[in-house]
Chain A
Amino acid sequence: MSDSHGAYYVPQSSHWPIVSSIALFCLFGGTAMWLNDYAAYPYVLGLAVALVLYFMFGWFGEVIRESETGKYNHQVDVSFRWSMGWFIFSEVMFFAAFFGALFYARMYAGPWLGGEGKGFATNEFLWPEFAYTWPMLSFPEGSFYSAPSGIIGAWGLPAINTLILLTSGATITFAHWALVKNKRSPLVWWLAATVALGVLFIFLQGEEYIHAYQDLGLTLNSGIYGATFFLLTGFHGFHVSMGALMIFIIMLRAIRGHFTPENHFAFEAVAWYWHFVDVVWLFLFIFVYWL
């Protein structure tokens, strides 16, 4: 089924792209049906999950086989590097939209609602009672949104989570060093440690959410503070989960003897991704929890 033209590996044909398009189509369509309360949504979503699993295992499996059978030369490797790098950049821009919303709300929208600035009459005419503070614990129209009794401070769980993620950045680097020196057993153990730290992070983040929802009344519905808090930390948490899953797969591959000291781009790609997730967290810690 596959063929290399000249030196550069060009797979002959593959049904995975179209399968994955159908899978995502069902996923998006099914979720939209669910949001609209259409009765058939569980079937569509069920099909979507099955198809997503099928194409993930199938497509990644194929790529791993090709990699392990030496089909990828140096140039292919470089293509992967360019792609992964710019993919991560696109993710940076996705987070930038939410950070943009946070900064805009804190620097402009909030103060204007509170009556600051010339010519912004919203405060005077609509909500003269409203005074702007950040974190915003009461809202211009209090009855529309549920005010929290408090917020998550930076120096509890979030600080611990910062330590955890920073440590995991170190453990994955140790894993890389081990791989480059061809020390297989430390490689696997450092990877395992990284996965464990990732899982721990997610667990603590879950605890924090439960605390926020149950004890503080801080929810998605808690005005702009709750909205930015949960979407920023939520998307970050999702990325950590994906990253931990990918590192787990890399670990399984390492156990199976994949990767050589010279040739291990899959490992590096996941490590880059992990560091990216780490850096996003630092920004979250500073701008969402701390300042």
Chain B
Amino acid sequence: MSEAAIHHDDHHEHHPGFIQRWFFGTNHKDIGTLYLLFSLVMFFIGGAMAMVIRLELFQPGLQFVDPQFFNSMTTMHALVMIFGVVMPAAVGFANWMIPMMIGAPDMALPRLNNWSFWILPFAFTLLLVTLFLPGGGPAGGWTMYPPLMLQTGDAFPFVIFAVHFLGFSSVMGAINIIATVFNMRAPGMTFMKLPLFVWAWIITAFLLIASIPVLAGAVTMLLTDKYFGTSFFDAAGGGDPVMFQHIFWFFGHPEVYILILPAFGIVSQVIPTFSRKPLFGYESMVYATAAIAFMSFFVWAHHMFTVGMPLAGELFFMYATMSIAVPTGVKIFNWLATMWRGSLTFETPMLFAVAFVLLFSIGGFSGLMLGITPADFQYHDTYFVVAHFHYVLVTGAVFALFAGAYYWLPKWTGHMYNETLGKWHFWLSTISVNVLFFPQHFLGLAGMPRRIPDYAVQFTEWNMVSSIGGFVFGLSQLLFVVVVIQCIRGGAKATNQVWEGAHGLEWTLPSPPPAHTFTTPPKVTDSVAHS
């Protein structure tokens, strides 16, 4: 590249107007901020739906909402939380951090990056507007099983197209991340020097590219079955409703790893910093993550043990599922070993990260129980499953996102957040989330089915406990908003390194970093490389 080709247009460079910056922008940091704010807003929309669910379940009998609406709440809650909160937040972190961590000037395809973001508000408009259509929102569950899903009213095509639209955004985002990491690393930033967050994201990106198009195919078949007379999922025409479940879960199980791997990545950054030790077993961490991702394509039918599969299938998917616990265990071991004899301090990010390790493990163990085919015949479609996936998703993925937010907020805003409020947020959340979800294990084992607005009276006590935990958890999240707003508006100045034990390229930059960083690639030496 000759010098002549590099010209700087200073006016636009340093003072883009509001619209230019936030709507037409190409800057990875601004787009990262948009993703994160979007995710925060959706967190409260999805959360409000959860409050409706817990309110109705506070007592047996039907008190507040009718069953159809209740079911559309569970369906929408899941879709919003998965596609609107956890995935966009993870992409937001990726946008902000990956270029700074690998010493790149921006994402590889900046316009496409903005496109991936701007699809989200429009796709969610398509999805959320269905609540106001004749027939109400989709109520067949986020897994969209036919034939039930085919009974959806006017909402049906909107939901299908929202899924297509969201998938489009995810695939473009994933492609962008792959191009960025493979092509934009600063000289000397070899693969085995990449921070684990970056590793986690490349692997996630491959999962996205391989699985999201399969979901698109599955919902396309639903659409043609409903409107164009095909019979993919209708046995009367030679198809099979179970076939949908196979195709869906071929996407669905990798999807749960799409949700959790970036979280693993964040925790792998936070724990070494507050242990003031390098991560234990870096290479085994990389290989374990890759192994989990690869294996996630061969376990899907553990969601279908009770549907009627040949015995060989039941056995294969049971053993395959069990074996994923091995690389997962490697990761848990490494996090613990990183803390072992470290000089630990427990600032809010570390609190969330430690809670993550502990509580995610509970979710992992209940997953193992569910993975045992004969046991799952009892647990399937009960609240035990609900408890399982909330431990891995809320105290897993969401807690890791909180850890990451507290960890990097000072870098992003240039201010320290309010540590006292942060700790309050942590303790209130951690106590209430366990009050909320732990009893659901008991309910499930005792036989309470999921996705039901009413229940037998013997389940009342634990449901009340669970609902109270839910309300406290919901309210506690308002504290997080206060912390974020305060931190954006002011607070103690953050240093470049922010945390005493933080290492890596991003911590060599000022806090907040200028709009454009690493426009000329930094030199990566061993001392600034991964933490």
Partner of B157, one of A4, A20, A36: A36
A203 to B240, CA, bound (A): 33
| A11 engages B111 (CB within 8 Å) | yes
Known: A17-B111, A79-B108, A82-B182. A1 touches B12 (CB 8 A): yes
Contact digits for A1-32, partner B, Cβ 8 Å, 1 yes 0 no = 11111111011111111101110110011011
B7 surroundings in chain A (CB, below 8 A): 3-4
Is A263 close to B, CB under 8 A?
Answer: no
| A224 engages B232 (CB within 8 Å) | yes
Contact digits for B305-343, partner A, Cβ 8 Å, 1 yes 0 no = 000101000000000000000000000000000000000
A3 to B216, CA, bound (A): 36
Q: Which of B13-21, B436-444, B460-468 lies at the interface with chain A?
A: B13-21
Partner of B178, one of A8, A17, A86, A230: A86
| A94 engages B214 (CB within 8 Å) | yes
Contact digits for B187-214, partner A, Cβ 8 Å, 1 yes 0 no = 0000000000000000000000111111
A227 surroundings in chain B (CB, below 8 A): 221, 224-225, 230-232, 237, 239
Q: How large is the interface on A (under 10, 10 to 19, 20 to 34, 35 or more residues)?
A: 35 or more
Is B396 close to A, CB under 8 A?
Answer: no
A144 surroundings in chain B (CB, below 8 A): 231, 234, 236-237
Is B71 close to A, CB under 8 A?
Answer: no
Distance of A260 from chain B, by nearest CB (Å): 16
Pick the most buried of B126, B216, B239: most chain A CB atoms within 10 A of its CB: B239
Is B132 close to A, CB under 8 A?
Answer: no
| B230 engages A25 (CB within 8 Å) | no
Across the interface, name the chain B residue whose C-beta is closest to A99: B217
Across the interface, name the chain B residue whose C-beta is closest to A8: B105
A57 surroundings in chain B (CB, below 8 A): none
Which residues of A in the span 210-236 have a Cβ within 8 Å of any Cβ on B? 219-221, 223-228, 230-231
| A139 engages B213 (CB within 8 Å) | no
Pick the most buried of A12, A70, A89, A144: most chain B CB atoms within 10 A of its CB: A12
| A6 engages B235 (CB within 8 Å) | no
| A15 engages B24 (CB within 8 Å) | yes
Contact digits for B134-178, partner A, Cβ 8 Å, 1 yes 0 no = 000000000000000000001011101110110010010011101
Is A100 close to B, CB under 8 A?
Answer: yes
Is B526 close to A, CB under 8 A?
Answer: no
| A31 engages B157 (CB within 8 Å) | yes
- Tell me what chain A mostly uses at the interface: helix, strand, loop, or mixed: helix
Which residues of B in the span 83-115 have a Cβ within 8 Å of any Cβ on A? 104-106, 108-112, 114-115
Across the interface, name the chain B residue whose C-beta is closest to A89: B209
Across the interface, name the chain A residue whose C-beta is closest to B17: A13
Contact digits for A82-122, partner B, Cβ 8 Å, 1 yes 0 no = 11001101111111111011001100111011000101101
Which residues of A in the span 46-105 have a Cβ within 8 Å of any Cβ on B? 59, 70-71, 73, 75, 78-79, 82-83, 86-87, 89-98, 100-101, 104-105
Is B525 close to A, CB under 8 A?
Answer: no
B1 surroundings in chain A (CB, below 8 A): 7, 73
Q: Which of B242-250, B447-455, B475-483 lies at the interface with chain A?
A: B242-250
Is B346 close to A, CB under 8 A?
Answer: no
Partner of B235, one of A10, A22, A98, A140: A140
A residues at B contact (CB < 8 Å)? 1-8, 10-18, 20-22, 24-25, 28-29, 31-32, 35-36, 59, 70-71, 73, 75, 78-79, 82-83, 86-87, 89-98, 100-101, 104-105, 108-110, 112-113, 117, 119-120, 122, 126, 136, 139-141, 144-145, 219-221, 223-228, 230-231
